[in-house]
Amino acid sequence: MPKVLTSVEDHIFLITLNRPEVMNCIDGETAKLLMEAWLRFRDDDDLFVAIITGAGDKSFCSGADLKNMASLLEFEGREMGFLGYSRGTDIFKPIIAAINGYCFAGGLEIACLADLRIASENAEFGCLERRWNVPLIDGLTQRLPRTVGLGRAMELILTGKRIDAWEAYRIGLVNEVVPRDRLLPRAREIARQLCEYPQGAMRADKKAVMLGLGRPLEEGLRLEKEVGEKVLGTHDFWEGVRAFAEKRKPSFDHR
């Protein structure tokens, strides 16, 4: 079986890490397949929302396959992330992580690549690589503080502590906690809702957020204007305006 599975349903692109026997950890082959999946999602205009999850009930992803570290060091795409595009910053479509079970080390880095994180009640989180002198080089030092704040991020990064799903929800690391059997159905519900919206403004807004993070407010506002104005002349912008004025359901072409 492939180490990464992909499927498409109604503009939703499902990516499944498929190594449950080793807690869905990432070796070089898995990283390559993940890279290909993310690039496909980025470049295919007919794919609106991505969901990433792990096979089985125990683990979303436990991080790098330390028993096969050599294959990761040989991965040709490692400049964009040892874990397969995990350092990418140019996907401006919504990404949802459906976190089932262990979300440790590099798995947490992959989860933080997502915009929304839905956790099952049995999910656990932590920077467990702290115990083995493995650095965070797939985005977590930058994304985690932006998600939970500097103090909480430093606590997780420096101590390597494990937290459960409800603590992750309390500190803002995950958006929702659901029963295990509701995890993928709930992720799909959200994805379908996002697919029903016109895509242009949503992607522009995500791009403005991502490009503006860490910049001075004045520069961020300039970027917001620059990105957002590109939507104003589109068919879907005027269709939305007309539909509102005419009190009817809009008919978007999602271009």
155 flagged as catalytic: no
DSSP H helical ranges for the chain: 28-43, 69-73, 106-113, 140-148, 150-159, 165-170, 183-196, 199-212, 217-232, 235-246
Tell me which of 129, 167, 218, 226 is the catalytic residue.
129
Whole-angstrom distance, CA of residue 98 vs CA of residue 86: 16
Nearest residue to 6 (alpha-carbon basis) of 72, 53, 76, 56: 53
Q: Which position among 9, 29, 79, 109 bears the catalytic label?
A: 109
Rounded (to 5) percent helix, strand, coil in the chain = 50, 15, 35
Report how far apart the first and last C-alpha atoms of the chain are (Å, whole number).
36
- Written as six digits, the tokens of 208 are 């403005």
Instruction: Note if 21 is an active site residue.
Output: no
CA distance 112 to 77: 19
Which strands make up the sheet holding 59-61, listed edge to edge?
59-61, 102-104, 124-126, 163-164
Provide the token pair at 204.
């522009």
Q: Which residues contact 106 (CB under 8 A, 6 or more apart)?
A: 25, 26, 61, 62, 63, 64, 82, 83, 86, 129, 138
Q: Six-digit token pair at 155?
A: 């606590």
Catalytic residues: 109, 129
